[in-house]
Structure 1
Amino acid sequence: MLEIVLTIAPIFLLIVLGNILRRIGIPSVDFWNINDKLVYWVLFPVLLFKTTSSLTLSGAVIGNYAIVILGGFFAAVLYSLIAIKVFRISAPSGTSVLQGAARHNTFIALAVAERLFGADGLALAAMVTAVLIPVTNIVVVTSMVGMLPKTPGRSLPAAILRDLTRNPLLVSIVIGMSLNLLGVGEIPVLHQTAGILGAAALPIMLLCIGANLHFSEMRAGLLSTYLSMAGKFIVFPAVVFGLVLMVGLEGNMAMIPLIFACVPTAASSFTLARQMGGDAPLAASIVTVQTLVSFVSLPIAITLLGHVFGLTF
């Protein structure tokens, strides 16, 4: 386990560094707010475009990954909706529970996959991302629009379509996968530029994750926070693990979707909650607590799963 901890420790150190820099005002609090937008609207979409447009697609692998990762995702969604109903959680808080249980931090997953398995791991992780992000965004945004109070004069389909078509992550994957399926290949200058930006994306994104952790809001909605953690760290991984065994994935191929299942929820959950009228303080609390817990839970999970699939890191 020590080897795994040492391997992925730089990822968490960058997160800690990002939080420290924001707290001491380097370079400024406004910088981190702007940088968060840079990550969401430029760096991460460019990284997704670069990886999805140039990865080698395998129908069998994509099919197995879709079964495995989407099975875990929909199980977490179903769990959260049942928990919201059983515990009578309000609609705004319920949307934060849903995000906490079903979404994933792609930044951490990609970084861990690359640290453990190199370029091949990153390519496989990009394949999972291409499968999971569109479905996650469509289901989560649709569910949130349906759960939250409606804006007078605006239809539900229009609201869902607006939020999906302006999502830069979804747009970048659609463009990248379209170029890939058309066999366009790498476009001179465009892909070189995307490669430079993509190389900077992961470290900057990890710093931004740390900068956006808000420890003062960790006590918001303890029950809702615990429910989201049960969905994210128990239901999601358990279902993915069972499906991995069912479809017969082995080695690195099995570990990549399990990494996605074990990472904390998306840091952008807070932003989405704030933009759509959900419980933003609760979302911030869920993101912060899950990220802190993952400092311990992720190395343990990777160690145990590595033993199951006979991997040495």
Structure 2
Amino acid sequence: MLTIFLAIAPVFALILMGYGLRRGGIPSTEFWNLNDRLVYWVLMPALFFAKISAADLSGGLGDYAMLLYAGFFAAILCGWLFGRGFAAPQASSLLQGSARFNTFIGLAIAEAVFGTTGLQIAVLGSALLVPVVNVTVVTLMTRQLGGGGKSIVRGLVKNPLILSILAGALFNFAGLKEVPVLHEIARILGSAALPIMLLCVGANLKIRGLSGDVRIIGLSVIGKFLINPLAVVLAAWVLAPDLLVFQVALIFAALPTGVASYTLAREMRGDAPLMATIITAQTLLSFITLPLTMLIGQAVLSLN
């Protein structure tokens, strides 16, 4: 437990640093807004492209995909069922809070705990999850809230993360894994992504003035931190995957909801203030739940 916590601690320290810097006005609010865009449009796509295009995909991703999708679909089903007792805007926030994840934190923790190999596996996990998660969530939210679906789908088609994943996969399958200059640029930009995005995650946390139905927040925590990891552990019990693959999949299952959930809630006329509360509460709670989940998951699988 101590070893895992110490490995993860710098990740959360950078998140807290980002929060403190923004609250202190350093250097400015506009700076953090521009950095968000830099990470989203340049640094993260570069990281995804560099890692996926050069990855060894010969071993197959079947078991890994099964673990990731087992956790996600179990959690989103839980969020959908829990939300049936609430008004549509609140139910849509519960849906996102139960199933979406913060890719940035996941990549950073995978690298911190398992090194370059862990980061590579986490990037592949993102490639498997990001398109499926976005399409599924948007489809269900459109059904809950009505309208706006077409414009959101058009936005997904232009999503730089999805486009970089597709570009990396095409390069990989075409055998163009290492293109001089192009891949060097992508790796340099990608290496800057993790520390900057962690600071931005912290800068986007909003602790003051938060409000929301405690029941919804609690139910989102159950879906995200209990149902999702439990489904991954059960799937691993059946599939008996490679240990490192299981550990990285468990990291994804235990991640807090990503900040993009707030933007989507606002654009689709969901309950954006409630979404902000869920994001902040889950991010702070994950300081404790994430290392604990990894420890329990490993212990349970070792009994198999």
Using structure 1 for the length normalisation, give the TM-score: 0.92
CA distance in 2 between counterparts of 1:22 and 1:165 reads 32
Partner of 1:216, secondary structure, is: coil
The one of 205, 208, 217 aligned to 1:216:
208
Cα displacement string for residues 208-261 of structure 1 (whole angstroms, at most 9, x for unaligned residues): 110011112443222211111110001111001100111111421211101110
CA distance in 2 between counterparts of 1:99 and 1:160 reads 15
CA distance in 2 between counterparts of 1:217 and 1:198 reads 35
Residue 281 of structure 1 and its aligned partner are, at CA, apart by 0.8
Cα displacement string for residues 33-92 of structure 1 (whole angstroms, at most 9, x for unaligned residues): 2211221222112211111111111453x111111111111111111111111x2x1222
Cα displacement string for residues 120-170 of structure 1 (whole angstroms, at most 9, x for unaligned residues): 11111112111111100111122222222325xxxx5x3353132121111
CA distance in 1 between counterparts of 2:226 and 2:171 reads 37
**Structure 1 partner of 2:144:** 147
| Within-5 A mapping of 1:136-215 | 136-150=133-147, 156=149, 158-159=150-151, 161-215=153-207
CA distance in 2 between counterparts of 1:179 and 1:211 reads 35
CA distance in 2 between counterparts of 1:78 and 1:307 reads 27
**Structure 1 partner of 2:280:** 288
**Structure 1 partner of 2:219:** 227
User: Could you tell me whether the CA contact under 8 Å between 1:218 and 1:289 is conserved in 2?
Assistant: no
Letter in 1 for 2:48: L
CA distance in 1 between counterparts of 2:48 and 2:268 reads 24
CA distance in 1 between counterparts of 2:62 and 2:89 reads 34
The one of 202, 225, 235 aligned to 1:243:
235
Matched, 1:93 2:93: no
**Structure 1 partner of 2:115:** 118
Letter in 2 for 1:240: V
**Structure 2 partner of 1:299:** 291
Identity %: 48
Runs (5+) with no aligned partner, structure 1: none
Cα displacement string for residues 95-138 of structure 1 (whole angstroms, at most 9, x for unaligned residues): 21111111111111111111111111111111211111110011
Residue 274 of structure 1 and its aligned partner are, at CA, apart by 1.8
Partner of 2:193, secondary structure, is: helix
Matched, 1:83 2:86: no
User: Could you tell me whether the CA contact under 8 Å between 1:217 and 1:282 is conserved in 2?
Assistant: no
Letter in 1 for 2:95: L
Letter in 1 for 2:23: R
Residue 6 of structure 1 and its aligned partner are, at CA, apart by 1.2
User: Could you tell me whether the CA contact under 8 Å between 1:218 and 1:286 is conserved in 2?
Assistant: no
Cα displacement string for residues 176-225 of structure 1 (whole angstroms, at most 9, x for unaligned residues): 11111111111111111111111110011100110011112443222211
Residue 301 of structure 1 and its aligned partner are, at CA, apart by 1.6
CA distance in 2 between counterparts of 1:221 and 1:41 reads 34
The one of 126, 130, 134 aligned to 1:129:
126
User: Could you tell me whether the CA contact under 8 Å between 2:232 and 2:253 is conserved in 1?
Assistant: yes
Matched, 1:69 2:68: yes
**Structure 2 partner of 1:3:** 3
Aligned residue pairs total 302
The one of 75, 85, 105 aligned to 2:102:
105
User: Could you tell me whether the CA contact under 8 Å between 2:211 and 2:273 is conserved in 1?
Assistant: no
CA distance in 2 between counterparts of 1:75 and 1:112 reads 23
Using structure 2 for the length normalisation, give the TM-score: 0.95
CA distance in 2 between counterparts of 1:210 and 1:160 reads 26
**Structure 2 partner of 1:277:** 269
CA RMSD of aligned residues (A): 1.5
User: Could you tell me whether the CA contact under 8 Å between 2:11 and 2:198 is conserved in 1?
Assistant: yes
Partner of 1:215, secondary structure, is: coil
CA distance in 2 between counterparts of 1:98 and 1:283 reads 10
Runs (5+) with no aligned partner, structure 2: none
Letter in 2 for 1:67: M
Q: Which stretch has the larger CA shift, 207-216 or 34-43?
A: 34-43
Letter in 1 for 2:74: A
Partner of 2:147, secondary structure, is: coil
CA distance in 2 between counterparts of 1:304 and 1:294 reads 14
Deviating 4+ runs (over 3 angstroms): 158-161, 306-310
